[in-house]
């Protein structure tokens, strides 16, 4: 119910357009790094992220970043 799944031990580096995104925090989404509702019936909720300008983003893939949805290199220590 509350077990975090590491989606991958590297970031998802994506060219990202401005908009609202819902980052998967449980690691179970089949649409990584974004939420697809797989967290249902768990303690996890997606993180709402607003991107204001088009840019390349390293979205956290390991789900352990201390920088929320964004990679901070923690995957190198797993």
What residue spans define the domains of the chain?
Answer: 12-71
pLDDT band at 2 (very low <50, low <70, confident <90, very high): low
CA–CA distance, 74 with 21 (Å, rounded to integer): 22
Query: What SS3 class is residue 76?
Result: helix
Position 4 confidence tier, pLDDT thresholds 50, 70, 90: confident
> Confidence band (pLDDT; 50, 70, 90) for 45?
very high
Percent of the chain with pLDDT over 70: 97
Residue 47 burial by CB count (10 A; 0-12/13-18/19+): exposed, middle or buried? middle
Distance CA 63, CA 5 (A): 8
Cα-Cα-Cα-Cα dihedral sign, residues 48, 23, 71, 19: negative
Supply the pTM of this predicted model.
Answer: 0.93
- For the chain, what is the mean pLDDT? 95
């Amino acid at each position: 119910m509350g077990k975090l799944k590491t989606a991958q031990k590297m970031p998802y580096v994506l060219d990202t357009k401005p908009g609202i995104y819902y980052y998967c925090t449980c690691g179970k989404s089949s649409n990584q790094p974004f939420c697809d509702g797989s967290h249902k019936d768990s303690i996890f909720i997606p993180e709402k992220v607003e991107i204001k300008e088009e840019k390349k983003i390293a979205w956290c893939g390991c789900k352990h970043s201390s920088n929320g949805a964004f990679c901070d290199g923690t995957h190198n220590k797993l």
